[in-house]
Structure 1
Amino acid sequence: MHRDHNDQATIAEAGGKLTTALFMITALLVGFLASSTAYAERIKDLATVQGVRSNELIGYGLVVGLNGTGDSSNSSPYTISSINAMLERFGINVRSKIATMKPKNIAAVMITATLPPFARPGQKLDVTVSSMGDSKSLRGGTLLLTPLLAGNNQVYAVAQGALSVGGFTAGGNASSKTVGHPTVGRIPNGANIERAAPTTMHSGQEKITLQLNNPDFSTIKRMRDAINSNFGTDMARTIDAGTIEVWNPEADAIELIARLEQIELTTDHHAIVVMDERTGTIVMGQEVRIDTVAVAHGTISVSVTESPQVSQPNAFAGGETQTVDRTDVQVDEEEAQLVVLPRQVSLSTLVAALNAVGATPSDLIAVLQAIKAAGALHAELRVI
């Protein structure tokens, strides 16, 4: 009996280990399957609410206090006119001295800022100040009081303050050195909002309209189904590939939008290959696929060298000195590596195969264009 008891304990222990092993294998399989599926994204990151938008502001002003790096009177006459107009507001008339003014410590600038949605008077904005004339640097300058206007020509903010400039320039008569970009600066919290941002949204509106950042028929359908599934009713309907309308039965748009933003769904994207020929950058999405195709890449280089020589006759030969042309032509052709890419190859396999061709980024762009021309690349090529 004692032996039977030990055997039962051994069997139980072995069964427990087997159960643990099966659990670990199951967990690994689930993790593998989860990692192979597409990641879910929130509606908050995929779409915007119609009527909730930012507004761009712009203004023209003067930066003072520069250390001799301001605008010159010859290249920037509008700076002189601005100084004159500013001084006249303070009761100072310098019109007779305009011709002799040299504003080395003043620069004309453009000020830009973004007015966020639902902004209210009294809140602060960051502003960017950019030189408009031939100023060499805005470092150490102070922006004078400047109104910021929106597209409707109404003033929504007023900016003023000391600039923060990352770059600088230094030098003398013979040479100079510039580090960074000294003609653009920022003023954190440099503008006060004077007027509320316009908006067409209110809490009791009949419906909410969502607009996809990247319109897509598959994604918009999945979003509609996810919303209806989450609320348990047909609250959402699609208008087009980038627009969804969601009814607001509780007359509480804030609560509805907060719930909508947290709904998750998997997205679908177009197969696109983006190429930048200036930098040799190539970006491909996982949706890119190709048909069976053979790719060979090689480089042919031709070098032509002119080496003229002088033909000098002997002293008593009676001939004439002449120049004889000598041309050396060399043709180098690299061995091409023929690589077969199978149909419906994955992105990782495609990248490995293209790397095996031995092409540089610039040549790789030509290879991809050739595969597209052959009708084997199922993706849109975009050159930026």
Structure 2
Amino acid sequence: MKFRLFLAALLFVIPAIGHATPIRIKDLVEFDGVRSNDLVGYGLVVGLNGTGDGLRNSPFTEEILSNILERLGVNVTGEQFRPNNVAAVLVTASLPPFARAGSPIDVTVSAIGDANSLLGGTLIMTPLNAADGDIYAVAQGTIIAGGASATGDGASVVQGVPTSGVIPSGATVEREVAFDFTEMTTLRLALRTPDFTTAGRIEQAINLNFERVVAVMLDAGTVELNIAATRMPSPAHAMGRIENILVEPERRARVVVDQRSGTIVMGEDVRISRVAVSQGNLTLRIQETPLVSQPNPFAPGETVIVPRTDAALIDEPGIGLAEVPEGTSLSEVVAGLNALGVAPRDMIDILKSIKASGALHAEFIVR
């Protein structure tokens, strides 16, 4: 009964995207040139409650700590110090498109040494570099870690990942990406899921909206826009109008299964031909019931454990030979699979076999 309810729930969690739900173009494509840039930096976290790096095992932490102190005017050359409240970290961030100098961005901080936790730590001023090696932002602030840890004399417990955390608005943009959007004459839209039908619908929707030829489909994943043909004051005005145009995307029929959790997800356009299915289970059961043989009181001899093993192969009754009728809609496919009355994990094996027989007309994805 639970499995029938599970499969029936698919009818509600998977909407009819291809026929009833228009989606904005901005949710279907990426605009050429309008992209974020990854940043990375190497820094130091201080103020930890004895959960920092062991400097003997992480010499790079001692090195960066010495460099920071010397830049602040503290001479530590030749000094021996072993603090346990500092940790070396990598700081990562994403520089959003059109970010201006002074804009705040979020950063993620991750320990790279043997620190146990970054809870309560403070990141010291850390430059963030892009792939070209230039500094585009500087990060600093108090870390918010997403885990917890506790250690005793004989045991310890960890929940989540306390060696990684975030600093909301923890970095300030210091340098802007050189990109003049106003000088663009053409702009390409890259579909996140390439499809000729969807690209054609995007082209048609844009041209209908402007009542002239503005967009041209180049291939299944690209639609090119002529900015001048839009007759808008600037490319930004044109994009603000185009990205909110509604389009009904076309999706490929897919069946996605997760073998670890037993999850099965089917798309609306999944179709199945008429097939017959038989499924059964073979169970090996082994039970150990050892006996103890002990001599009588004051009698010579010793106690002996005699092993006793009960092994059996049980062929549990399966579903027999059941017919799955031809499905012309998702509801009919679900109803046919429901008739088998098997567990979700067994259903995954059945779907694999139906796909191998050529009766499942959909892309089969196993995760």
**1:173-192 correspondence to structure 2 within 5 Å:** 173-192=153-172
CA shift for structure 1 position 72 = 0.9
> Is there any run of 5+ residues in structure 1 with no aligned partner, and where?
1-33, 313-320
Deviations 1:216-243 (A, max 9, x none): 0110011111111121112211111111
Report what 1:205 is aligned to: 184
**1:106-185 correspondence to structure 2 within 5 Å:** 106-185=86-165
Deviations 1:131-155 (A, max 9, x none): 1111111111110000001111110
The one-letter code matched in structure 2 to 1:111 is V
**1:244-323 correspondence to structure 2 within 5 Å:** 244-249=223-228, 250=231, 252-305=234-287
Choose 167-176 or 324-333, whichever is displaced more.
324-333
Given that 1:296 and 1:357 are in contact with CA atoms closer than 8 Å, whether structure 2 keeps it comes out as no
The one-letter code matched in structure 1 to 2:352 is Q
- Normalised by the length of structure 1, the TM-score is 0.82
Deviations 1:156-214 (A, max 9, x none): 00001111223221231112222332111211111110001343x52242222111111
CA 1:377/1:86 → structure 2, altered by over 3 Å: closer, same or farther? same
- Normalised by the length of structure 2, the TM-score is 0.85
Specify the structure having the higher radius of gyration (Cα).
1
CA 1:87/1:294 → structure 2, altered by over 3 Å: closer, same or farther? same
Report what 1:219 is aligned to: 198
**1:77-116 correspondence to structure 2 within 5 Å:** 77-98=59-80, 101-116=81-96
CA shift for structure 1 position 75 = 2.6
CA 1:183/1:310 → structure 2, altered by over 3 Å: closer, same or farther? closer
> Is there any run of 5+ residues in structure 2 with no aligned partner, and where?
1-15, 295-303
Report what 1:347 is aligned to: 330
Report what 2:358 is aligned to: 375
The one-letter code matched in structure 2 to 1:373 is A
The one-letter code matched in structure 2 to 1:283 is V
Identity, % of aligned pairs? Answer: 46
CA–CA separation in structure 2 for the residues paired with 1:334 and 1:290: 26
CA–CA separation in structure 1 for the residues paired with 2:267 and 2:183: 41
CA–CA separation in structure 1 for the residues paired with 2:342 and 2:214: 53
**1:35-54 correspondence to structure 2 within 5 Å:** 37-54=19-36
CA shift for structure 1 position 327 = 5.0
Given that 2:106 and 2:169 are in contact with CA atoms closer than 8 Å, whether structure 1 keeps it comes out as yes
CA 1:97/1:218 → structure 2, altered by over 3 Å: closer, same or farther? same
Q: What is the aligned-residue RMSD (CA, Å)? A: 2.6
Given that 2:203 and 2:215 are in contact with CA atoms closer than 8 Å, whether structure 1 keeps it comes out as yes
CA–CA separation in structure 2 for the residues paired with 1:159 and 1:372: 52
CA shift for structure 1 position 90 = 2.5
Q: Count how many residue pairs are aligned between Structure 1 and Structure 2.
A: 342
Given that 1:43 and 1:265 are in contact with CA atoms closer than 8 Å, whether structure 2 keeps it comes out as yes
The one-letter code matched in structure 1 to 2:241 is R
CA 1:89/1:136 → structure 2, altered by over 3 Å: closer, same or farther? same
CA 1:367/1:175 → structure 2, altered by over 3 Å: closer, same or farther? same
CA 1:103/1:337 → structure 2, altered by over 3 Å: closer, same or farther? farther
CA–CA separation in structure 1 for the residues paired with 2:168 and 2:36: 18
Given that 2:214 and 2:225 are in contact with CA atoms closer than 8 Å, whether structure 1 keeps it comes out as yes
CA–CA separation in structure 2 for the residues paired with 1:123 and 1:326: 72
CA shift for structure 1 position 103 = 2.7
